[in-house]
């Protein structure tokens, strides 16, 4: 397994940046499960499901570092400092993030701090929400008849705005996947239509994708904000925009009520 090389002497401890996937524990990688069963400390986010945490070694220290919109248990700078401190104590630390840590997971920021302090680390990829949630919703992100490209964007930027590249988001034969976009959904739909997207462009919002509480709401740019309000959807949600959403009706294979998967 490849790890980073640093010019500074590394302490005895090590940080493992691990992707937990979208929620279903069976989507964890074998490497992730092995590390969870061996770790001294786990620092985890709120998107990590309870079923995934069941793999953590009994007796391991658990530190919750969840961040939600306008609600941070620890600021990002505090998490960075925490990881450095734990590693310098000689501990093996699993930093567990929902999805994949390098796709809107701030994993790069945390590793920059570790590297700057000479802390050894390893990255274990996870199934990112875009592919995991869309698969469980029966919505292929690409399809020869509908979409030849796929664009991942975040609906919540570092400065709290949603100033996205609207012209890039309205290109034809493309699927757009929006992470953390529920709060700004009305503005996203409005801006896409203002920049040339048709009001009837299909859109899906998936809440709690891949676990027993999964809920899929299908609509269009014109009516989705009202549909989301009527359904009472709350985060975590993933938004998928594009003609591929039409396939949900025939390809939706996952039945949450019979899945037996713990949220």
**Domain of residue 33, CATH code:** 3.40.1010.10
Q: What angle (nearest 5°) sits at the alpha carbon of residue 80, between those of residues 76 and 86?
A: 140
Residues 26-68 pLDDT 10s: 999 999 999 999 999 999 999 999 999 999 999 999 999 986 6
For residues 42 and 152, membership in a common domain is answered with no
The helix or strand, by DSSP H or E, that contains position 79, with its residue range, turns out to be: helix 76-88
Residues 146-167 pLDDT 10s: 999 999 999 865 555 668 999 9
Number of domains in the chain: 2
Residues 192-243 pLDDT 10s: 999 999 999 999 999 999 999 999 999 999 999 999 999 999 999 999 999 9
Residue numbers annotated as active site: 45, 67
Spatial contact of 238 and 254, defined as CB atoms under 8 Å apart: no
Spatial contact of 175 and 140, defined as CB atoms under 8 Å apart: no
For residues 80 and 18, membership in a common domain is answered with yes
Spatial contact of 44 and 53, defined as CB atoms under 8 Å apart: yes
For residues 162 and 145, membership in a common domain is answered with yes
Q: Let me know if residue 263 belongs to a domain.
A: no
Q: Residue 145 contacts by C-beta under 8 Å, 6 or more apart in sequence?
A: none
For residues 163 and 196, membership in a common domain is answered with yes
């Amino acid at each position: 397994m490849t790890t980073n090389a640093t010019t500074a002497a590394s302490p005895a401890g090590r940080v493992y940046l691990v992707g937990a996937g979208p929620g279903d524990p069976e989507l964890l990688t074998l490497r992730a499960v092995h590390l969870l069963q061996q770790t001294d400390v786990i620092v985890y986010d709120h998107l990590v499901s309870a079923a995934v945490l069941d793999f953590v070694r009994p007796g391991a220290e658990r530190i919750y570092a969840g961040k939600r919109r306008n609600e941070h248990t620890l600021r990002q700078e505090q998490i960075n400092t925490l990881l450095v401190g734990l590693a310098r104590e000689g501990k093996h630390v699993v930093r567990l993030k929902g999805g994949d840590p390098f796709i809107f997971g701030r994993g790069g920021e945390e590793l920059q701090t570790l590297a700057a302090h000479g802390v050894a680390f390893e990255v274990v990829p996870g199934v990112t929400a875009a592919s995991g949630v869309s698969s469980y919703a029966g919505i292929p992100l690409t399809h020869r008849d509908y979409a030849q490209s796929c664009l991942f964007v975040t609906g919540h930027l570092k400065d709290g705005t949603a100033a996205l590249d609207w012209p890039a988001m309205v290109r034809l034969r493309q699927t757009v996947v929006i992470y953390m976009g529920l709060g700004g959904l009305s503005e996203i739909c409005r801006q896409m239509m203002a920049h040339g997207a048709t009001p009837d462009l299909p859109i899906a919002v998936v809440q709690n994708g891949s676990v027993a509480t999964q809920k899929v709401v299908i609509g269009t740019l014109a009516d989705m904000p009202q549909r989301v309000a009527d359904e009472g959807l709350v985060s975590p949600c993933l938004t998928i925009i594009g003609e591929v959403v039409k396939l949900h009706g025939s390809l939706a294979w996952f039945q949450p009520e019979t899945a037996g998967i713990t949220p």
